Amino acid sequence: MSHTHVEKSEGTPKRKSRVSRRNFLYTTAAGAAALALPGCRKSEPPVLSALAGDFDPLRSYPYRGWEDFYRKIWTWDKVVRSTHSANCTGSCSWKVYVRNGVMVREEQASDYPRISKDLPDYNPRGCQKGGCFVEYVYSPQRLRYPLIRTGARGEGKWRRASWDEALTLIAEKLLDNVYNYGPDTNTFFSVIPAMSPVSFCGGSRLAHYLGGVMLSFYDWYCDLPPGEPLTWGVQTEACECADWFNAKYIVLWGSNISQTRIPDAHFAFEARYNGAKIVAISPDFNSSCMHADLYWQINPGTDAALAMGVAKILMDENLMDVPYVKEQTDLPLLVVTGTRRFLRESDLKAGGKDDVFFVWDTKKSQPAATPGSMGSAEKTIRWNGVDPALTGSFRVMLADGNAAEVTTVFELLRSSLAAYPLEKVAQLTGLPAHEIQTFAREMGTRKPAMIIHGAGTNHWFHNDLTNRAMILLVALTGNVGKNGGGFNHYVGQERIWPEHGFFELAFPEGRKKQRFQNTTLWSYVHSASKDPHQYNGKPIEWYIQESVKNGWMPLWPAGGRKPRAFIVWRANYLNQAKGSEILETSLWRDLDLIVDINFRMDTTALYSDVVLPASSYYEKVDLNSTDCHSYIHTFGKALDPLFESKTDWDIFQALAQKISEVARRKGLQPFRDEKFEWSRDFTRLADDWTGKGSIVTDEQAADFILSHSKETQGMTYRNLQAQPKRFVATDEEAWNSDIEEGIAYTPFKHQVDKKRPWRTLTGRQQFYIDHPWYLELDEALPAYKEPIPEKFPLYWNTPHGRWSIHSTWRDHRAMLRLQRGMPIVYMHPDDARKRGLRDNDWVRIFNDIGQCVCRLQILPGEKPGRVTMYHGWEKFLGFQQGGWQSLTYIKIKPTQLIGKYGHVNFRLNYWGPTGNNRDIKVEVEKARVKA
Ligand code: SF4
Residues of the chain with confidence (pLDDT) below 70: 1-63, 931
**What is the distance in A from the centroid of ligand 1 to the CA of 293?**
28
What pLDDT is recorded for position 832?
98
Q: Ligand 1 centre from 34 Cα, in Å? A: 42
Task: Describe the crossing of helices 648-666 and 698-707 by its angle, rounded to 10 degrees.
Answer: 110
CA of 127 to the centre of ligand 1 (A): 5
Residue 438 burial (CB < 10 Å; 0-12/13-18/19+)? middle
Task: Check: CB of residue 646 under 8 Å from CB of residue 156.
Answer: no
Please tell me the distance between residue 415's alpha carbon and the centre of ligand 1 in angstroms.
Answer: 47
Ligand 1 neighbour 628 (Cβ under 6 A): no
Burial class (CB in 10 A: 0-12, 13-18, 19+), 346: middle
Interatomic CA distance for residues 79 and 93, integer angstroms? 13
How many CB atoms are located within 10 Å of the residue 800 CB? 24
pLDDT at residue 62, rounded to an integer: 63
Name the E strands within 742-897. Answer: 794-797, 824-827, 842-846, 851-858, 866-868
Omega before 448 within 30 of 0, i.e. cis: yes
Question: Which residue type does 794 have?
Answer: L
Give the CA dihedral 901, 907, 909, 913, nearest 10 degrees: 50
The secondary structure of 250-314 as a DSSP string is EEEES--HHHH-TTTHHHHHHHGGGT-EEEEE-SS--TTGGG-SEEE-PPTT-HHHHHHHHHHHH
Backbone φ and ψ for 37, nearest 5 degrees, come out as -85, 155
Q: How far, in Å, from the CA of 526 to the mean position of ligand 1?
A: 35
Ligand 1 atom nearest residue 125's Cα: 8
Are 618 and 82 spatial neighbours (Cβ–Cβ below 8 Å)? yes
The terminus-to-terminus CA distance of the chain in angstroms comes to 33
CB distance 824 to 854 below 8 Å: yes
**Gap from CA of 857 to ligand 1 centroid (Å):** 27
Q: Which atom of ligand 1 is nearest to the CA of 131?
A: 5
The Å distance, Cα 126 to ligand 1 centre, comes to 5
> Would the CB of 126 count as within 6 Å of ligand 1?
yes
The answer to whether 767 and 457 are in contact (CB under 8 A) is no
Please say whether the beta carbons of 685 and 663 come within 8 A: yes
User: Strand pairing of 593-598 and 565-569?
Assistant: parallel
Single-letter amino acid code for the residue at 131: G
Strand partners, 925: 844
Looking from the CA of 306 toward its CB, the CA atoms found within 13 Å total 28
* Structural element, H or E, at residue 147: strand 147-149
From the list 595, 575, 570, 615, the residue with the least C-alpha distance to 877 is 575
616 Cα: distance to centroid of ligand 1 (angstroms): 14
Q: Which residues of 80-90 are buried (b: 16+ CB within 10 A; e: fewer)?
A: bbbbbbbbbbb
Query: What separation in Å is there between the alpha carbon of 776 and the centre of ligand 1?
Result: 45
**CB of 127 closer than 6 angstroms to any ligand 1 atom:** yes
Alpha-carbon distance of 571 to 648, in angstroms, equals 12
Closest ligand 1 atom to the C-alpha of 90? 3
Q: Is the CB of 130 under 6 A from ligand 1?
A: yes
Q: Ligand 1: does its nearest atom lie under 6 Å from the Cβ of 805?
A: yes
129 CB near ligand 1 (under 6 Å): yes
Determine the distance separating the centroid of ligand 1 and the alpha carbon of 130, expressed in angstroms.
5
Q: 840 with 261: CB under 8 angstroms? A: no
CA of 449 relative to ligand 1 center, distance in Å: 28
The residue whose CB lies within 8 Å of the most ligand 1 atoms, and thus the one to mutate among 122, 262, 633, 800, is 262
The number of angstroms, rounded, from the C-alpha of 796 to the middle of its chain's C-alpha atoms is 19
**Beta carbons of 715 and 725 less than 8 angstroms apart:** yes
User: Quick one: 686 exposed, middle or buried, by C-beta within 10 A (0-12, 13-18, 19+)?
Assistant: buried
Asked if residue 872 has its Cβ within 6 Å of ligand 1, the reply is no
Ligand 1 atom nearest the C-alpha of 624 is: 7
Q: Which residues of 712-749 are buried (b: 16+ CB within 10 A; e: fewer)?
A: beebebeebbeebbbbeebeeebbbbebeeebbbbbbb
Listed residue (580, 743, 663) closest to 172, CA to CA = 663
Question: Rounded CA gap, 599 and 881, in Å?
Answer: 26
Atom of ligand 1 nearest to the CA of 263: 3
Atom index in ligand 1 nearest the CA of residue 94 equals 5
Q: Which has the closest alpha carbon to 148: 593, 537, 452, 474?
A: 593
Residue to substitute in 125, 136, 807 for testing ligand 1 pocket (most ligand atoms within 8 angstroms of CB): 125
User: Which residues does residue 359 pair with via DSSP β-bridges, in sequence order?
Assistant: 368
Ligand 1 center from residue 114 Cα (angstroms): 19
* Residue 90 near ligand 1, beta carbon < 6 Å: yes
Q: For residue 257, which of 836, 408, 185, 247 has the smallest C-alpha distance?
A: 247
* Residue 144 to residue 47: CA distance in whole angstroms: 55
Kindly report the backbone phi and psi dihedral angles of residue 411, in degrees, each rounded to the nearest multiple of 5, phi listed first: -65, -45
Quick one: how far is CA 861 from the chain centroid? Answer: 25
Q: Residue 669 and residue 663: Cα distance in Å, rounded?
A: 8
**Contact criterion met (CB below 8 Å) for 904 and 781:** no
Which DSSP state fits 516? E
Find out whether the beta carbon of 88 lies less than 6 Å from any atom of ligand 1.
Answer: yes
Say if ligand 1 is within 6 A of residue 84 CB. Answer: yes
Question: Under a CB-based contact definition with an 8 Å cutoff, are residues 585 and 608 in contact?
Answer: no
Take atom 2 of ligand 1 and give the residue whose Cα is closest: 90
**Helix/strand/coil for 464:** helix
CB-CB contact of 837 with 924 (8 Å): yes
pLDDT of residue 53: 53
CB of 257 sitting under 6 A from ligand 1: no
SS3 199: helix
- Ligand 1 close to Cβ of residue 92 (< 6 A): yes
Which ranges in 587-667 belong to alpha helices (H)?
A: 587-590, 603-606, 648-666
Cβ burial of 475 (10 Å; 0-12, 13-18, 19+) is: buried
Q: Please tell me the residue having the least CA distance from ligand 1 atom 3.
A: 90
Q: How close is the Cα of 854 to the center of ligand 1, in Å?
A: 28
Ligand 1 pocket check for 263: Cβ under 6 Å: yes
pLDDT in tens, 613-645: 999 999 999 999 999 999 999 999 999 999 999
Q: Which numbered atom of ligand 1 lies nearest the CA of 83?
A: 7
Q: Which DSSP state fits 37?
A: S
DSSP result, 58-97: TTT----HHHHHHHHTT--SEEEEE---SS-S----EEEE
Largest CA distance in the chain: 113
Ligand 1 center to 111 CA (angstroms)? 15
Closest CA to 91 of 881, 731, 725, 900: 725
- Residue 261 Cα distances to 384, 494, 623, angstroms: 44, 15, 20
Res 74: pLDDT: 82
Ligand 1 centroid vs 131 CA: distance in angstroms?
8
Q: Quote the pLDDT of residue 39.
A: 36
Please count the residues of the chain: 931
Please tell me the distance between residue 81's alpha carbon and the centre of ligand 1 in angstroms.
13
User: If you take atom 6 of ligand 1, which residue's CA is the nearest one?
Assistant: 130
Q: Which amino acid is at 284?
A: D
pLDDT in tens, 31-86: 333 333 433 344 554 444 444 555 566 666 666 777 777 787 788 999 999 999 99
Give, using CA atoms, the residue closest to atom 1 of ligand 1.
130
Q: What is the distance in A from the centroid of ligand 1 to the CA of 490?
A: 15
Ligand 1 touching residue 498 (CB < 6 A): no
